Amino acid sequence: MERIISVALVGNPNCGKTSLFNALTGLNQKVSNFPGTTVEKKMGETMLSDTVKLQIIDLPGTYSLYPKSADELVTYEILRNKSETNFPDLVVFIADASNLKRNLLLFTQVCDLGVPAILALNMLDVAERRGISYNLEVLSEALQVPVIPINARKRIGVEPIKQTILERLPKAHAAFYSIDHLSQEMLAELGKVSDKRNAYAALQYAINAKELISEKSLRIKEIFTQYQFDARQFQEEEVFARYHLIDAAVKKSRIQAQDNLKKSITKRVDAVLTHRFYGIGIFLVLMFLIFQAVFSWSTYPMELVENAFAFLSEYVKNALPQGVLNDLLVQGVLAGLSGVIVFLPQIIVLFFFIAILEDIGYMARVGFIMDRVMRPFGMNGKSIVPLISGMACAVPSIMASRSIENKRERLITILVIPLMSCSARLPVYALLISIFIPDTAVWGPFNIHGLVLMLMYLIGFVAALLSAWIFKHFIKSAQQNYFLMELPGYKLPLPGNLLITLYEKASAFVVGAGKIIIAVSVILWVLASTGPRDKMNAVAQKYEQHMAQLNETEKNEALLGGLNLQRDADFLEASYAGQFGKFIEPAIRPLGFDWKIGIALLTSMAAREVFVGTMSTIYSVSGADDNLHSIRAAMLSETNTQTGKPSYSLATVFSLLLFYAFALQCMSTVAIVRKETGGSKWAIIQFVYLTFLAYGSSLFIYQVFG
Amino acid sequence: MNLSEIKLGQHAIVRKVNGDILALKLFEMGMLPGETVELENIAPFGDPIAIRVGESKLCLRLEDAAHVEIELH
What pLDDT, on a 0 to 100 scale, did the predictor assign at position A698? 96
Judge whether A13 and A486 are in contact, CB under 8 Å. yes
Question: What ipTM score was computed for the predicted complex, to two decimals?
Answer: 0.95
Q: Which pairs count as long-range contacts for A25-33, CB under 8 Å and 24+ apart, including other chains?
A: A25/A56, A27/A500, A27/A503, A29/A500, A31/A504, A31/A507, A31/A508
Tell whether the model's pLDDT for residue B52 goes beyond 90.
yes
Q: Indicate which of B3, B31, B58, B59 best probes the interface with A, i.e. most A CBs within 10 Å of its own CB.
A: B59
A160-185 pLDDT, tens digit each: 999 998 886 666 667 888 888 888 88
What pLDDT, on a 0 to 100 scale, did the predictor assign at position A620? 64
> What is the overall mean pLDDT for chain A?
85
User: Which of A433-447, A481-495, B5-19 is predicted with the least confidence, judged by mean pLDDT?
Assistant: A433-447
Whole-angstrom distance, CA of residue A356 vs CA of residue A351: 8
Q: Is A276 on the interface with B (CB under 8 A)?
A: yes
Whole-angstrom distance, CA of residue A683 vs CA of residue A679: 8
Whole-angstrom distance, CA of residue B38 vs CA of residue B47: 15
CB-nearest to B44 from A280, A482, A488 is A280
Confidence of residue A478 (pLDDT cuts 50, 70, 90): low
Q: Is A66 on the interface with B (CB under 8 A)?
A: yes
Q: Is A237 on the interface with B (CB under 8 A)?
A: no
Mean pLDDT of B42-64: 93
Tell whether the model's pLDDT for residue A196 goes beyond 70.
no
Q: Is B11 on the interface with A (CB under 8 A)?
A: no
What pLDDT, on a 0 to 100 scale, did the predictor assign at position A527? 87
DSSP E strand stretches across A78-150 = 90-96, 117-122, 132-134, 147-149
Tell whether the model's pLDDT for residue A48 goes beyond 60.
yes
CB neighbours of residue A268 within 10 Å: 11
A71-75, A375-379, A525-529 — most confident range: A375-379
Domains with residue ranges and CATH for chain A: 3-167 (3.40.50.300), 183-228 (no CATH), 495-705 (no CATH)
Whole-angstrom distance, CA of residue A612 vs CA of residue A431: 7
At A406, the amino acid letter reads N
At A41, the amino acid letter reads K
What pLDDT, on a 0 to 100 scale, did the predictor assign at position A471? 95
Contact B46 A372 (CB under 8 A): yes
What pLDDT, on a 0 to 100 scale, did the predictor assign at position A625? 44
What pLDDT, on a 0 to 100 scale, did the predictor assign at position A237? 93
Whole-angstrom distance, CA of residue A54 vs CA of residue A38: 25
3-state secondary structure of A199: helix
A112-126, A341-355, A607-621 — most confident range: A112-126
CB-nearest to A484 from B20, B25, B47 is B25
Size of interface A-B (CB pairs under 8 A): 119
Closest-CA distance, B30 to chain A, in angstroms, reads 6
Overall size of chain A counted in residues:
706
Confidence of residue A411 (pLDDT cuts 50, 70, 90): very high
Q: Is B57 on the interface with A (CB under 8 A)?
A: yes
A136-153 pLDDT, tens digit each: 999 999 998 999 999 988
A566-591 pLDDT, tens digit each: 888 888 888 898 899 999 999 999 99
What pLDDT, on a 0 to 100 scale, did the predictor assign at position A640? 66
User: Which of A83-97, A162-176, A520-534 is predicted with the least confidence, judged by mean pLDDT?
Assistant: A162-176
DSSP annotation of A423: T
A22-31, A314-323, A682-691 — most confident range: A682-691
At A19, the amino acid letter reads S
Q: Which residue has the higher pLDDT, A279 or A256?
A: A279
Q: Is B8 on the interface with A (CB under 8 A)?
A: no
Tell whether the model's pLDDT for residue A75 goes beyond 60.
yes
Contact B64 A267 (CB under 8 A): no
Tell whether the model's pLDDT for residue A323 goes beyond 60.
yes
Bridge partner list, A692: none
User: Which of A54-58, A130-134, B40-44 is predicted with the least confidence, judged by mean pLDDT?
Assistant: A130-134
Confidence of residue A265 (pLDDT cuts 50, 70, 90): confident
Contact B54 A102 (CB under 8 A): yes
Q: Which residue has the higher pLDDT, A12 or A297?
A: A12
Burial class from Cβ neighbours inside 10 Å (0-12, 13-18, 19+) for residue A107 reads buried
A367-377 pLDDT, tens digit each: 999 999 999 99
A100-104, A349-353, A357-361, A547-551 — most confident range: A100-104
**Residues in CB range of A577: below 8 A, 6 or more apart:** A524, A527, A528, A599, A602, A603
CB neighbours of residue A248 within 10 Å: 11
**Residues in CB range of A507: below 8 A, 6 or more apart:** A31
Backbone angles phi, psi at A61, to 5 degrees: -65, 140
Confidence of residue B1 (pLDDT cuts 50, 70, 90): very high
CB-nearest to B28 from A64, A275, A485 is A64
What pLDDT, on a 0 to 100 scale, did the predictor assign at position A646? 75
User: Which of A279-283, A379-383, A521-525 is predicted with the least confidence, judged by mean pLDDT?
Assistant: A521-525
Instruction: Render the burial of A566-605: b for 16+ CB within 10 Å, e for the rest.
Output: ebbbbbbbbbbbbbbbeebeeebeebbbbbbbbbbbbbbb
A383-402 pLDDT, tens digit each: 988 998 888 888 888 988 88
Contact A102 B56 (CB under 8 A): yes
**Residues in CB range of A664: below 8 A, 6 or more apart:** A418, A670, A686, A687, A690, A691
Judge whether A165 and A118 are in contact, CB under 8 Å. yes
Residue A613's closest CA among A345, A406, A366, A334? A334
Q: Is B21 on the interface with A (CB under 8 A)?
A: yes
Q: What percent of chain A has pLDDT over 90?
A: 31
Domains with residue ranges and CATH for chain B: 3-72 (2.30.30.90)
Tell whether the model's pLDDT for residue A558 goes beyond 50.
yes
Closest-CA distance, B32 to chain A, in angstroms, reads 8
Closest-CA distance, A6 to chain B, in angstroms, reads 28
What pLDDT, on a 0 to 100 scale, did the predictor assign at position A376? 93
A642-659 pLDDT, tens digit each: 666 777 788 888 999 999
Closest-CA distance, B33 to chain A, in angstroms, reads 9
Geometric angle at alpha carbon A389, from A386 and A393, rounded to 5°: 115
Tell whether the model's pLDDT for residue A355 goes beyond 50.
yes
Whole-angstrom distance, CA of residue A93 vs CA of residue A407: 28
Contact A102 B55 (CB under 8 A): yes
Q: Find the closest chain A residue to B55 by CA distance.
A: A99
Q: Which residue has the higher pLDDT, B51 or A424?
A: B51
A101 contact residues in B (CB cutoff 8 A): 30, 54-55
Confidence of residue B27 (pLDDT cuts 50, 70, 90): very high
Tell whether the model's pLDDT for residue A489 goes beyond 70.
yes
Tell whether the model's pLDDT for residue A517 goes beyond 90.
no
Tell whether the model's pLDDT for residue A83 goes beyond 70.
yes
Judge whether A377 and A413 are in contact, CB under 8 Å. no
Q: Is A295 on the interface with B (CB under 8 A)?
A: no
Tell whether the model's pLDDT for residue A624 goes beyond 50.
no
